[in-house]
Chain A
Amino acid sequence: MTEIIKLTAAQTAEKIASGELTAVEVAEAHLARIEAVDEKVHAFLHIDREGALAQARAVDAKRAAGEPLGPLAGVPLAMKDIFTTEGVPTTVGSKILEGWIPPYDSTVTRKLKAADVVILGKTNMDEFAMGSSTENSAYGPTGNPWDLTRIPGGSGGGSAAALAAYEAPLALGTDTGGSIRQPAAVTGTVGVKPTYGGVSRYGMVAFSSSLDQGGPCARTVLDAALLHEAIGGHDPLDSTSIDAPVPPVVEAARSGDVRGMRIGVVKELGGEGYQPGVVQRFEESVEVLRGLGAEVVEISCPSFVYALAAYYLIAPSECSSNLARFDAMRYGLRVGDDGTKSAEEVTALTREAGFGPEVKRRIILGTYALSSGYYDAYYGSAQKVRTLITRDFEKAFEQVDVLVSPTTPTTAFPLGERVDDPLAMYLVDLCTIPVNLAGNAAMSLPCGLAPEDGLPVGLQIIAPALKDDRLYRVGAAVEAAFVKKWGHALLEEAPQL
């Protein structure tokens, strides 16, 4: 069984297609693994054993009937609990949606089902994707498989931990300010935030509409590309979805050739405040790229220093409006409806009980920032910063093909360390946020362990909008070089659970 769970998604699909493994065997192996370790890891909020096995059986039947199978047919996947799944609970990590069974599938869910991917269940996350440690989940934190007393990152800590704990070879995340990339960095896995509009947001519960982007999480660059291809593409149900073909990500991941590429190191994303081991591993990665034939230059993006401030005005503003619908009227939690209270009172009691402190903090921040008389100073200025950051990127990409930086300034910190210090928590996303503000694409992949704590460090690669394939080309090259150097994948060094 151990063998099956350690296979990559690409290998798994190949073995199912060739008949070496059945989809049911694969699903059962992962369900057994979840049963064995998830009590400790707590990556999942809901396990859909029946649904997963039914889907696996359907794949095996298809193969038996000689029907063609897609490139991910039968491969198990852990889905962040932010995508709606018809008939399967979707909580977004919040008490306010406890017990809600969506009547519809998100576009991504629908595409995965059509691709015969086996959805094992829904993964833990910071409530409404607000957080960087998964500690804001209303259902308890997730542990980092490298050290269960440490954070798995967030908001998509459940998906990243599921990959690192071999509970699934593929996972789905959403990235509003780093929620795919930062968990990938601290768990030694791969995560990609596609170009804004590259993956449909229909059925993805909104946190900040102009920043949210669903994307693939995996243990290898190629697996991420295969998943990216399966979920990407235009969706007429999402008006912000880009009407263009998915960039050739799988082809790029198979090529991994960076000779002649120009790579920019972002001056503002590094230096003081960064953990020495993180800086060291990042610098090694740059050397690796140079060694592979890429040309490396330093690039300055002066407006990035304002990114965090702008983000914490835009995201709360949009969330204050997006979360207004949770009013106890139509779905989810309802508190205090004893026949004596008004609708307003029931709404107030429900929101008081149903939203956690971080969600309340952001609703209040956003409500304030959008208020008449403050709009220009806060939301208006933040939008201007956004334009400046986009221009910084545009200028940078006139000179280089991709930019690189550490994904996050530190490795995984202990659970509980920053829960009472929101500002320290917000700093975790310093390097990832500019990408969301500009809407371009970025990847995090493992680049080694920090010598001082033996925990994974992530390398961030940033590409221009619609050039997602460049991430995979560079990522695959770096991955191959490191695996060759280490003699194995980084995750092999993680402790046994």
Chain B
Amino acid sequence: MTVTELLSYEDALAAYDPVMGLEVHVELGTRTKMFCGCSTELGAEPNSQVCPTCLGLPGSLPVVNRTGVESAIKIGLALNCEIAQWCRFARKNYFYPDMPKNFQTSQYDEPIAYNGYLDVALEDGEVFRVEIERAHMEEDTGKSTHVGGATGRIHGASHSLLDYNRAGIPLIEIVTKPIEGAGARAPEVARAYVAELRELIKALGVSEARMEMGQMRCDVNLSLRPHGQKTFGTRSETKNVNSLRSVERAARFEVQRHAAVLSSGGTIVQETRHFHEEDGSTTSGRIKEEAEDYRYFPEPDLVPVAPPREWVEELRAGLPELPRLRRKRLQEEWGIADHEMQSVLNAGALDLILATIAEGADATAARKWWMGELARHANESGVELAAVPITPAQVARVAALVAAGDLNDKLARQVIEGVLAGEGGPDEVVDARGLKVVSDEGALGAAVDDAIAANGAIADKIRGGNLAAAGALIGAVMKATRGQADAKRVRELVLEKLGVQG
């Protein structure tokens, strides 16, 4: 395997301006397939969720899934698109064994939604507008498993297995207009766009959009042009980039690869490329010697889709609060700064904090624990925040114990540490480790008396009005109670016993 020449990212950007196009396929979470009544449930026995229509048997015909159209319109509306008054399906003709009819029922020049945009926030809070070309409806293909080869690709395989359960599952393909002007931030924009789109799809409830399950798949098209040039360079199409991190890496790799080729006087070949998770590289797939001719024509087996305006408006009115607006609202409610909100998002803490609030914690406490103790733990152990072994309900319980005065911050941190160590829920850790604030006034009073007796000079300073000296006595009491006292109460007792007004 030849090593791909790369230019350093900085040098690449110094010489060239990247232009991207992102194509995202979203598998809709409809109960049945796009053109027949077969189940879309994942994980079933191969070829158990098929019928004459999704197998493309002679004589079979498609019928459009209304929920599929509804989901497409919702996505279109959420992406600020215009919704077609009248549109048709089209046949995209090409041969592949996992495509039962050897044409894909898709949409061509009459997409259901077109001309929209999505505002995406970058890590520093800068908002970048990504223009949307179109969102159209189509069906998924079956799944080929190539057996006996080294790579799992068809090349070198001894045979292939075909599973048509996926054939006919509704897909929405969302295509951006050329993304220009992102400069060095292009890979970051790509990632932020896909992330924002995923949030949007989830908020609409039309798909779980789980990239690791293939429910959302991204193609990254990228080209470079010298700074100041208007026309686009030749693009490469990196297919099936299936995580947010990979989207960013693929774009970055292609910027560096294109730059290396162009700066050494070479030309970019228009081709599809495969992305490799292991090292973030791409390799050449199929070279498109000439534009593939799909011989599109309007699907004669389906009547046109003409969504009534009242229906579209009804769907518009029923759209949920969109993720970016929801974040803005929460930020205002919580009264936090842009950069604080951005750290919450970057840490992947938003849903966790909201879940913790839903379990009864107040917003400040929920944010404090997730962004403090727990974020640190995630960082140290190198896992996503959501993967830290504590539930929002448990965090809420810790917060409740603190609010009730049963724990102070120091003890609360120990409780969380216990939960993370697998010692059980907050209450179990409290019991097992004996972590309770000393609330027995008698015992606490005795400890204060002891501290005053042992530190006569300090006690005199306090009596003399030097309230700052109280800290030393409080510290002594906390030490004597192994930190299990409520520091605020200790201070009150010290001042009270010395006859000083706090």
Which residues of A approach B to under 8 Å, CB–CB? Answer: 83-84, 90, 92, 97, 100, 102-104, 106, 201-206, 208-210, 236-240, 317-318, 320-321, 324-327, 329-331, 343-344, 347, 367, 370-372, 375, 379
Query: Shortest CB–CB separation between residue A236 and chain B, in angstroms?
Result: 7
Find chain A residues with CB under 8 A from B57 CB.
84, 102-104, 330-331
In the complex formed, the residue of B with least CB distance to A104 is B52
Are B58 and A97 closer than 8 Å at their CB atoms? yes
Find chain A residues with CB under 8 A from B95 CB.
324, 327, 344, 347
Q: Mark B257-294, 1 if CB is under 8 A from A, else 0.
A: 00000000000000000000000000000000001010
Are B58 and A92 closer than 8 Å at their CB atoms? yes
Find chain B residues with CB under 8 A from A83 CB.
59
Find chain A residues with CB under 8 A from B414 CB.
none
Main secondary structure of the interface of A (DSSP, over half): loop
Given contacts A209-B301, A240-B301, whether A324 and B58 have CB atoms under 8 Å apart is no
Find chain B residues with CB under 8 A from A106 CB.
59
- Contact partner of B297 (CB less than 8 A), chosen from A102, A240, A321, A330, is A321
Find chain B residues with CB under 8 A from A100 CB.
58
Find chain A residues with CB under 8 A from B58 CB.
84, 90, 92, 97, 100, 102, 205-206, 325-326, 331
| Cα separation A104 to B59 with both chains bound (whole Å) | 10
Are A204 and B59 closer than 8 Å at their CB atoms? yes
Are B302 and A370 closer than 8 Å at their CB atoms? no
Find chain B residues with CB under 8 A from A201 CB.
61
Query: Shortest CB–CB separation between residue B296 and chain A, in angstroms?
Result: 8
Q: Mark B57-101, 1 if CB is under 8 A from A, else 0.
A: 111111110000000000000000000000000010101010011
| Cα separation A329 to B163 with both chains bound (whole Å) | 12
Shortest 6 CB-CB distances between A and B: which pairs? A324-B102, A209-B300, A370-B295, A210-B300, A203-B59, A205-B58
Give the number of residue pairs across the A-B interface with Cβ within 8 Å: 100
Are A239 and B302 closer than 8 Å at their CB atoms? yes
B55 within 8 A of A: yes
Find chain B residues with CB under 8 A from A320 CB.
93, 295
In the complex formed, the residue of B with least CB distance to A241 is B61
| Cα separation A258 to B70 with both chains bound (whole Å) | 49
Are A324 and B61 closer than 8 Å at their CB atoms? no
B360 within 8 A of A: no
**Which of A90, A202, A236, A320 has the most chain B CB within a 10 Å cutoff?**
A202
B103 within 8 A of A: yes
| Cα separation A329 to B55 with both chains bound (whole Å) | 11
Are B300 and A325 closer than 8 Å at their CB atoms? no
Are A324 and B93 closer than 8 Å at their CB atoms? yes
Interfacial residues of chain B within 438-459, with CB under 8 A of chain A in the complex? none
Query: Shortest CB–CB separation between residue A93 and chain B, in angstroms?
Result: 12
Are A330 and B100 closer than 8 Å at their CB atoms? yes
Find chain A residues with CB under 8 A from B214 CB.
none
Can you name 9 A-B pairs with beta carbons within 8 Å? A205-B59, A206-B59, A209-B300, A239-B302, A317-B297, A320-B295, A321-B295, A324-B102, A326-B58
**Which of B58, B59, B100 has the most chain A CB within a 10 Å cutoff?**
B58
B161 within 8 A of A: no
Are B93 and A343 closer than 8 Å at their CB atoms? no
Given contacts A317-B297, A321-B93, whether A330 and B55 have CB atoms under 8 Å apart is yes
Query: Shortest CB–CB separation between residue A140 and chain B, in angstroms?
Result: 22
| Cα separation A209 to B300 with both chains bound (whole Å) | 6
Are A203 and B60 closer than 8 Å at their CB atoms? yes
| Cα separation A379 to B55 with both chains bound (whole Å) | 28
| Cα separation A376 to B63 with both chains bound (whole Å) | 28
| Cα separation A318 to B91 with both chains bound (whole Å) | 10
Are B97 and A327 closer than 8 Å at their CB atoms? yes
In the complex formed, the residue of B with least CB distance to A238 is B61
In the complex formed, the residue of A with least CB distance to B37 is A237
Are B101 and A371 closer than 8 Å at their CB atoms? no
Q: Mark B156-172, 1 if CB is under 8 A from A, else 0.
A: 00001010000000000
| Cα separation A375 to B91 with both chains bound (whole Å) | 14
In the complex formed, the residue of B with least CB distance to A370 is B295
| Cα separation A330 to B56 with both chains bound (whole Å) | 9
Interfacial residues of chain B within 9-37, with CB under 8 A of chain A in the complex? none
Q: A92-B58, A372-B291 are in contact. List 15 more A-B contacts (CB 8 A).
A: A239-B62, A239-B63, A239-B303, A240-B300, A324-B101, A324-B102, A326-B58, A327-B95, A327-B97, A329-B97, A329-B162, A370-B295, A371-B293, A372-B295, A375-B297
Query: Shortest CB–CB separation between residue A320 and chain B, in angstroms?
Result: 8
Find chain B residues with CB under 8 A from A347 CB.
95
Query: Shortest CB–CB separation between residue B342 and chain A, in angstroms?
Result: 47
In the complex formed, the residue of B with least CB distance to A203 is B59
Query: Shortest CB–CB separation between residue A79 and chain B, in angstroms?
Result: 13
Find chain A residues with CB under 8 A from B160 CB.
343
Are B297 and A324 closer than 8 Å at their CB atoms? no
Given contacts A97-B58, A201-B61, A239-B302, whether A321 and B103 have CB atoms under 8 Å apart is yes
Query: Shortest CB–CB separation between residue A175 and chain B, in angstroms?
Result: 16
- Contact partner of B102 (CB less than 8 A), chosen from A92, A205, A327, A372, is A327
In the complex formed, the residue of A with least CB distance to B291 is A372
- Contact partner of A102 (CB less than 8 A), chosen from B59, B103, B291, is B59
| Cα separation A201 to B60 with both chains bound (whole Å) | 8
Interfacial residues of chain B within 285-335, with CB under 8 A of chain A in the complex? 291, 293, 295-297, 300-303
| Cα separation A212 to B20 with both chains bound (whole Å) | 45
Find chain A residues with CB under 8 A from B101 CB.
324-325
In the complex formed, the residue of B with least CB distance to A91 is B58
| Cα separation A205 to B59 with both chains bound (whole Å) | 4
Given contacts A325-B58, A325-B101, whether A370 and B63 have CB atoms under 8 Å apart is no
**Which of B52, B93, B303 has the most chain A CB within a 10 Å cutoff?**
B52
| Cα separation A209 to B298 with both chains bound (whole Å) | 11
In the complex formed, the residue of B with least CB distance to A380 is B297
- Contact partner of A379 (CB less than 8 A), chosen from B62, B291, B297, is B297
Interfacial residues of chain B within 96-153, with CB under 8 A of chain A in the complex? 97, 100-103
| Cα separation A284 to B242 with both chains bound (whole Å) | 74
| Cα separation A27 to B62 with both chains bound (whole Å) | 36
**Which of A106, A320, A343 has the most chain B CB within a 10 Å cutoff?**
A343
| Cα separation A308 to B56 with both chains bound (whole Å) | 30
- Contact partner of B61 (CB less than 8 A), chosen from A92, A237, A317, is A237
Q: Mark B229-258, 1 if CB is under 8 A from A, else 0.
A: 000000000000000000000000000000
| Cα separation A155 to B250 with both chains bound (whole Å) | 56
